[in-house]
Amino acid sequence: MEAFTTHTGIGVPLRRSNVDTDQIIPAEYLKRVTKSGFEDGLFAAWRGDETFVLNDPTYAAGSVLVAGPDFGTGSSREHAVWALMNYGFRVVISSRFADIFRGNSSKAGLLAAQCSQDDVELLWKLLENEPGTSVTVDLESRTVTAGDLTAPFQVDDYARWRLLEGLDDISLTLRHEGDVTAYEKTRPSWKPVTL
Amino acid sequence: MPKNRFVEVLAVGKTLAEKVWDAHVVRRGEGEPDLLYIDLHLLHEVTSPQAFDGLRLAQRPVRRTDLTLATEDHNVPTTPGPISDPISLTQVETLRRNCEEFGIKLYPMGDAEQGIVHVVGPQLGLTQPGMTVVCGDSHTSTHGAFGALAFGIGTSEVEHVLATQTLPLKPFRTMAVTVEGELPAGVTSKDIVLAVIAKIGTGGGQGYVLEYRGSAIRSLSMEARMTVCNMSIEAGARAGMIAPDETTFAYLEGRDHAPRGEDWDAAVAAWRELRTDDDAEFDAEVVLDAASLTPFVTWGTNPGQGAPLGDSVPDPAQMEDSERQAAERALEYMGLVAGTPLRAIPVDTVFVGSCTNGRIEDLRAAADVVKGRRVADGVRMLVVPGSARVRLQAEAEGLDAVFTEAGAEWRLPGCSMCLAMNPDKLAPGERSASTSNRNFEGRQGKGGRTHLVSPLVAAATAVRGTLSSPSDLQPLSAATAGHATQEA
C-alpha cells in the first residue's frame, strides 16, 4: 500500500447525507474482477444529472471529497473505495463514516477523515463560494486546511500508523503466525468444517 | 468492550458479544487491535476475485480451506439457462477457477446446495452458536441469530482471512435492543427490525454489536431471528446477535454439519453459557414494546425512512433541519407527496426473496396470503427462494403451485432483485414492494423505487395492488378458499 502523509488537492463539496455504497458505485458496476477501472461507475446515477458537482469542470481534478454524515453506509463492497481512488480521490471528509467503509478505506489507502459537522459545513461554504479551492489534509498533525480554515479530524491511531507507514495488514499478521497456530490447537474438535 | 478490562475482570459480567469475542482472541497487544480467529469464512463471486489475485501475487495459500465455503448467488439468473451477461459469467467463472486452484468447496449454480450465502450456511448447520463468521457481504450479520459474532468485511479483509484465518479488529461496543411483549397478529420480525432502524437511524448502531433480547425475540423462530439480525447493518451496526436457546438447538440438531453424539452434548453444554451475564453492562440500550408494533414499511431511500403502514407519507416541513433535506430528496426520488396514505401507494412489482426473507417460512407466509387469490392486474410478483433447498422444500409443500396459480412467477434461487446484479431489475420509475433489505436509490434497478416490507405485506400488496397488510384483504368465502384457481 502507498504511504500517506499529507495531501493537497481540489476539494469537492458533496452536500448529501447517507451516501450509501450503492450510490458510490451501483451493483451493475461490480462485475469486474480487477481493482481498477471502477471510475466509470463512481456516482453513476448522479452523474446523469448535469447539475451534479462532479459534472462541474472546476472539480475535474478534485481529490478531496467533503460529504455529509453517514458516508459509505450499506453494502460492504470495497469497490466503493476503489471507485473513489480510481477516479482520483485520496481523501473523503465526513462527520460520520459507516464502519465497513472506514475499514475498507484504511486497507486500500484512502484516508477517511472524520471532521465535526460544523467544520464540514464551513468547508462546504468555502468550496462553494470559491470553487476550485485546494484543501490540504495532513495525517501527521490530523488537520484539514483550506483558505483560512484549519480544522482537526479524527482517525483511528492504528489506521493512521499503517497509512503513514504504508504497511499492509497481512504481512503484519503473519509475523504472529505462531500465535495463530497455538490458538488453533485450543479450538474444540466439534467446531464445524466445510470439506 | 471498550470498557476498562481491569474492572471487568474484577467484577463486571460479560455480554454475549464480549464472551464470543474474548474466546477468539489470538493475540492482544498494547495499542494494537485484537487479532481475532475466524471460525467460518463464506465467499461469493462479487467480493472475492481481487482477494484471490492478492494471494497469487504474494504466493500465499489459503490457510484453512476447511473453514471456507463458497457459493454463487449475486449474479445468477433466476430463470433456467446459462448466464447471458458475459461480464457476470466471467465473475462466476473466476470464482470457480479460484476455488479449484486454492482447494475451496464451492456450491455452483444448479447444485442442490447452491443458494444465497446467508441462507446456505445456516441450513447446512455450519453456522453455530459462539462462532465467528465473516463474509465479504454486509448481510453476514444474519448468522448472529445463532449467537455467533458475524459481520461483513471488505475484499482486503477477505484476502486477510484467506491468508491467515484471522482479522485485526478493534472491539465493538455493545447495544441491547430489548423487545418485550407479544407481537400482534400480522406483525413479523421484519416489522420489528424496520421499527428498530427507524428509531435509531441508519447510523445509530455505528460501532455497535446489537444484542436483540426480550420475550418477543425469544418467541421468534430461527428463521425470523435471522431476518432481524440480517438487517442490523441497516442501522449501521457491525453485527446483530441473539443468545442461543432451545429454539436454536432444535434448529441445529441433525443438520449436516452440526455436531453428533458426544460432540453434540459437549457443544450444547458450551452453547448454554453463551448468554449475557445478569451483571453485564451494555454501552447503550433501546427498548421497544412488541404489542405496540404494526406492519411497517419504508417510504424513503434509506431503511431508516420507514413508518407504520397505517400512517401517511411524512411531511419534510415538519422534520428537523438535519433530516429535512434528505427527506425532501427521498420523496422527490420516490415520486411521493407528503400526506398520501401509505396504503394508497400503488406498486408495479412485488419481490419476495433475498437473504432477509427468502427462507421457507417467508415463502409459506406469503403463500398463505395469496392462496385462493389473484395477483392484481398490472402487478408483477416474483418469488425467489433463498436456496435450492428452500426451493425444493417449497415445491414439496406445493407452494410453487399456490404462487403460480395466483399469477406470480416462481423462480430459481439467488440474490435476484434485491440488488439487481442479475436480469431481475426494476425499470426506471417502477415501484416495488420488496421483502429485501435496502431501499437505496437505484438498488433494484436504475430509477427504481423500493418500499421495504414483510412477506405478509408483500403478498397482500400483490393482491390489492397498493401497499397493504393481509387484514386489508376480503376474507375468502368457504367456496373459493378450497379452489386456489378461482378469483377471490
For the record, the C-alpha cell of A104 comes out as 475498507
Question: Is residue B487 situated within a structural domain?
Answer: no
Kindly indicate the confidence band of residue A1, based on its pLDDT and cuts at 50, 70 and 90: confident
Q: What percent of chain A has pLDDT over 70?
A: 100
Annotated binding site of B: 355, 415, 418
Query: Same domain for B352 and B424?
Result: yes
Question: What's chain B's average pLDDT?
Answer: 95
Write down the pLDDT at residue B479.
Answer: 47
Domain containing residue B76: 16-288
Phi then psi dihedrals of residue B279, to 5 deg: -100, 10
Please indicate if any CB of chain B lies within 8 Å of the CB of A185: no
Please indicate if any CB of chain B lies within 8 Å of the CB of A20: yes
Whether the predicted pLDDT of A14 surpasses 70: yes
Q: Is B204 helix (H, G, I), strand (E, B) or coil?
A: coil
Query: Same domain for B238 and B354?
Result: no
Question: Is residue B76 situated within a structural domain?
Answer: yes
Query: Same domain for B349 and B205?
Result: no
Q: What percent of chain A has pLDDT over 90?
A: 96
Q: Does CATH number 3.20.19.10 belong to domain A6-186?
A: yes
Whether the predicted pLDDT of B324 surpasses 80: yes
Question: What ipTM was estimated for this complex?
Answer: 0.93
Phi then psi dihedrals of residue B27, to 5 deg: -160, 135
- The residue of chain A with its CA nearest to that of B93 is A33
Please indicate if any CB of chain B lies within 8 Å of the CB of A177: yes
A194 and B166 in contact by Cβ < 8 A? no
Query: Same domain for B338 and B453?
Result: yes
Q: Is B487 helix (H, G, I), strand (E, B) or coil?
A: coil
Whether the predicted pLDDT of B260 surpasses 50: yes
Query: Same domain for B179 and B134?
Result: yes
Integer Cα distance of B314 and B107 in angstroms: 45
B66 and A75 in contact by Cβ < 8 A? no
Query: Same domain for B338 and B447?
Result: yes
What pTM value is reported for the model? 0.94
- Show residues of chain B in contact with A15, CB under 8 Å: 325
Kindly indicate the confidence band of residue B9, based on its pLDDT and cuts at 50, 70 and 90: low
Whether the predicted pLDDT of A67 surpasses 80: yes
| Nearest CB to A18 within list B163, B166, B302 | B302
Please indicate if any CB of chain B lies within 8 Å of the CB of A114: no
Query: Same domain for B273 and B310?
Result: no
How close is the nearest chain A Cα to the Cα of B21, in Å? Answer: 14
Write down the pLDDT at residue B482.
Answer: 44
- Show residues of chain B in contact with A74, CB under 8 Å: 138, 233-234, 438, 440
Write down the pLDDT at residue B321.
Answer: 84
**For chain A, how big is the Rg over CA atoms in Å?**
19
| B interface test, pick of A1, A194, A195 with most B CB neighbours within 10 Å | A194
A195 and B65 in contact by Cβ < 8 A? yes
| Nearest CB to A69 within list B27, B203, B258 | B203
Q: What is the edge-to-edge ordering of all strands in the sheet holding B409-410?
A: B409-410, B380-383, B349-352, B431-434, B449-452
- Percent helix, percent strand, percent coil in chain B, to nearest 5: 40, 15, 45
Whether the predicted pLDDT of B3 surpasses 60: no
Q: Report CA-CA distances (Å) from B406 to B78, B295, B371, B403.
A: 19, 23, 7, 5
Write down the pLDDT at residue B480.
Answer: 55
| Nearest CB to B440 within list A22, A107, A191 | A22
B85 and A31 in contact by Cβ < 8 A? yes
Question: Is residue B476 situated within a structural domain?
Answer: no
Kindly indicate the confidence band of residue A3, based on its pLDDT and cuts at 50, 70 and 90: confident
Kindly indicate the confidence band of residue B12, based on its pLDDT and cuts at 50, 70 and 90: confident
- The residue of chain A with its CA nearest to that of B443 is A22
Query: Same domain for B325 and B449?
Result: yes
Question: Is residue B159 situated within a structural domain?
Answer: yes
- The residue of chain B with its CA nearest to that of A71 is B203
Question: Is residue B392 situated within a structural domain?
Answer: yes
pLDDT, tens digit, 9 for 90 and up, residues B372-385: 999 999 999 999 99
CA angle B55, A188, B243 (to 5 degrees): 95
Question: Is residue B425 situated within a structural domain?
Answer: yes
| A interface test, pick of B26, B53, B422 with most A CB neighbours within 10 Å | B26
Phi then psi dihedrals of residue A144, to 5 deg: -110, 130
Please indicate if any CB of chain B lies within 8 Å of the CB of A195: yes
Task: For residue B20, give the CATH number of its domain.
Answer: 3.30.499.10
Query: Same domain for B263 and B383?
Result: no
B50 and A177 in contact by Cβ < 8 A? no
Question: Is residue B306 situated within a structural domain?
Answer: yes
Whether the predicted pLDDT of B481 surpasses 60: no
How close is the nearest chain B Cα to the Cα of A148, in Å? Answer: 26
- Among residues B288, B308, B335, which one ends one of the domains? B288
* DSSP letters for B168-203: EEPPPEEEEEEEES-PPTT--HHHHHHHHHHHH-TT
Query: Same domain for B208 and B324?
Result: no
Q: Is B2 helix (H, G, I), strand (E, B) or coil?
A: coil
Write down the pLDDT at residue A24.
Answer: 98
B203 and A33 in contact by Cβ < 8 A? no
Q: How far is CA B165 from the centre of its chain?
A: 24
Query: Same domain for B272 and B322?
Result: no
| A interface test, pick of B440, B443, B446 with most A CB neighbours within 10 Å | B440
Whether the predicted pLDDT of B485 surpasses 70: no
Domain count for chain B, please give it.
Answer: 2
Mean pLDDT for the stretch of residues B114-138: 98
Write down the pLDDT at residue B11.
Answer: 56
Number of A/B CB contacts below 8 angstroms equals 202
> Residues A41-49: contacts with CB within 8 Å, 24+ apart?
A41/A79, A41/A83, A42/A83, A42/A84, A42/A86, A42/A87, A45/B441, A45/B442, A45/B446, A45/B447
Please indicate if any CB of chain B lies within 8 Å of the CB of A51: no
pLDDT, tens digit, 9 for 90 and up, residues B206-248: 999 999 999 999 999 999 999 999 999 999 999 999 999 999 9
Question: Is residue B141 situated within a structural domain?
Answer: yes
pLDDT, tens digit, 9 for 90 and up, residues B417-467: 999 999 999 999 999 999 999 999 999 999 999 999 999 999 999 999 999
How close is the nearest chain A Cα to the Cα of B406, in Å? Answer: 31
- Domain ranges, ordered by start, for chain A: 6-186
Under 8 Å between Cβ of A10 and A133: yes
Query: Same domain for B46 and B128?
Result: yes
